[in-house]
């Protein structure tokens, strides 16, 4: 399996070969790919930032994109599964929004091709933000004059549409990139950026086989055409204590969307960037610590029992993937005078 993927990667990414490491490790680019039909500009990003933080996009005015993908806490909520409107729990752990712009497909099961497609989902999901329809979202935002004006400025006359809400949010999300991690600084020549333990861990993730899937600049697989997710089966090896302990087969992954047998237990390979800060782990958030997550992955994906020292070194390496969160300006959300657009659902 390892060999197969290394071959595949070789044709897709231009790796930076480093002396002492055979793997194709790459620093995070400063900018993610930007789709031709949604170019970024300052006004669109600002509108997207407002929408991202605006709880009025949820039916009862309590949940914003940022509630679960909190940019103040590493782009996630650090919960097993997220909590939506009316105290409802979601089925999967919220993936970090940071560097999601580098993924070729979104959601744990890759069911959305782009950030734009992804942004449309949670707003209408009954257990997340719970708005009843696209029309209801538009009707609500139309009551907020500054939003109407801003959509027109950014997208032209009649610019307040559900597609454009998603475009603005996606444009903001493409600014949520975390460059300059110790690992990136090391790759760029600062040999002191990594501890000795992290350096051993870097060799181990390749030797053990983690990088067969967690490769590329985002450690989420090779660069692929938009919408073509990089999927892997999880768990691959099921005859171990972890599968039952962490209930790893209750959710059938991509199969739940496609109902195709070949998608059973297939998941989009998640990024390892900032992984030290996004506990708890896995699609169901069942594993609370990073060292245990490393043990689980080694056993379920590579049928390997790591030594304590190996786990420690790999964790040290993973901790070196924590990048710099860009400074965040808090939006001033457009206001309504004399009334509120949310009721008491």
Q: What is the CA radius of gyration of the chain?
A: 21
Taking contact as CB under 8 A, which single stretch among the options 85-93, 97-105, 176-184, 221-229 is the one that binds a second copy? 85-93
What are the structure tokens assigned to 108, written together? 């744990």
Residue located via tokens 């067969």:
212
Taking contact as CB under 8 A, which single stretch among the options 126-134, 194-202, 296-304, 314-322 is the one that binds a second copy? 314-322
Give the one residue of 122, 209, 285, 323 binding a second copy; rule: CB under 8 A.
Answer: 285
Ramachandran assignment for 53, one of left (phi > 0), alpha (psi -120 to 50 degrees), beta (any other): alpha
Taking contact as CB under 8 A, which single stretch among the options 81-89, 94-102, 228-236, 239-247 is the one that binds a second copy? 81-89
Cα separation, 30 vs 53, whole angstroms:
24
What are the structure tokens assigned to 49, written together? 């930032």
What ranges in 76-129 are assigned the alpha helix state H? 115-124
Cα separation, 297 vs 248, whole angstroms:
11
Give the one residue of 277, 296, 297, 314 binding a second copy; rule: CB under 8 A.
Answer: 277
Give the one residue of 28, 32, 59, 67 binding a second copy; rule: CB under 8 A.
Answer: 67
Choose between 26 and 54: whose C-beta lies nearer to a second copy. Answer: 54
What are the structure tokens assigned to 202, written together? 């870097």
Query: If DSSP codes are grouped into helix, strand and coil, which group holds residue 83?
Result: strand
Cα separation, 119 vs 265, whole angstroms:
24
What binding mask, one character per residue, do residues 23-62 give for a second copy by CB under 8 A, x or -? ------------------------------xxxx---xxx
Is residue 128 among the annotated active site residues? yes
Of residues 26, 116, 128, 319, which has the active-site annotation?
Answer: 128
Residues that bind a second copy (CB under 8 A): 53-56, 60-62, 67, 70-74, 77-81, 83, 85-89, 276-277, 279-280, 285, 288-291, 315, 319, 322, 325, 327-333, 335-344
Active site residues: 128
């Amino acid at each position: 399996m390892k060999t197969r993927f290394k071959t595949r990667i070789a044709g897709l990414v231009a790796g930076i070969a480093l002396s002492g490491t055979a793997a194709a490790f790459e620093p995070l680019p400063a900018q993610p790919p930007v789709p031709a039909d949604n170019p970024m500009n300052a006004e669109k990003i600002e509108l997207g930032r407002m929408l991202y933080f605006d709880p009025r996009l949820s039916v009862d005015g309590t949940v914003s994109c940022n509630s679960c993908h909190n940019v103040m806490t590493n782009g996630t909520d650090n919960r097993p599964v997220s909590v939506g409107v009316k105290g409802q729990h979601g089925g999967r752990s919220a993936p970090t929004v940071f560097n999601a712009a580098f993924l070729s497909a979104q959601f744990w099961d890759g069911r959305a091709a782009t950030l734009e497609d992804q942004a449309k989902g949670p707003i209408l999901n009954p257990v997340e933000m719970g708005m009843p329809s696209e029309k209801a979202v538009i009707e609500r935002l139309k009551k907020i004059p500054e939003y109407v004006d801003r959509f027109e400025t950014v997208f032209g006359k009649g610019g307040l549409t559900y597609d454009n809400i998603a475009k603005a949010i996606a444009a903001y999300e493409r600014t949520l990139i975390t460059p300059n991690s110790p690992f990136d600084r090391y790759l760029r020549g600062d040999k002191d950026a990594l501890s000795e333990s992290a350096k051993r861990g870097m060799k181990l993730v390749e030797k053990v086989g983690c990088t067969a899937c967690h490769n590329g600049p985002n450690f989420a697989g090779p660069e692929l055409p938009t919408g073509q997710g990089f999927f892997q089966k999880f768990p691959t090896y099921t005859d171990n204590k972890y599968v039952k302990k962490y209930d790893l087969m209750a959710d059938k992954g991509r199969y739940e969307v496609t109902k195709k047998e070949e998608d059973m237990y297939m998941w989009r390979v998640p990024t390892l960037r900032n992984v030290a800060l996004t506990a708890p782990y896995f699609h169901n958030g069942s594993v609370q610590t990073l060292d245990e997550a490393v043990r689980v992955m080694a056993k379920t994906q590579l049928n390997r029992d790591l030594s304590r020292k190996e786990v420690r070194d790999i964790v040290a390496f993973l901790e070196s993937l924590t990048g710099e969160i860009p400074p965040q300006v808090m939006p001033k959300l457009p206001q309504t005078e004399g009334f509120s657009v949310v009721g008491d659902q």
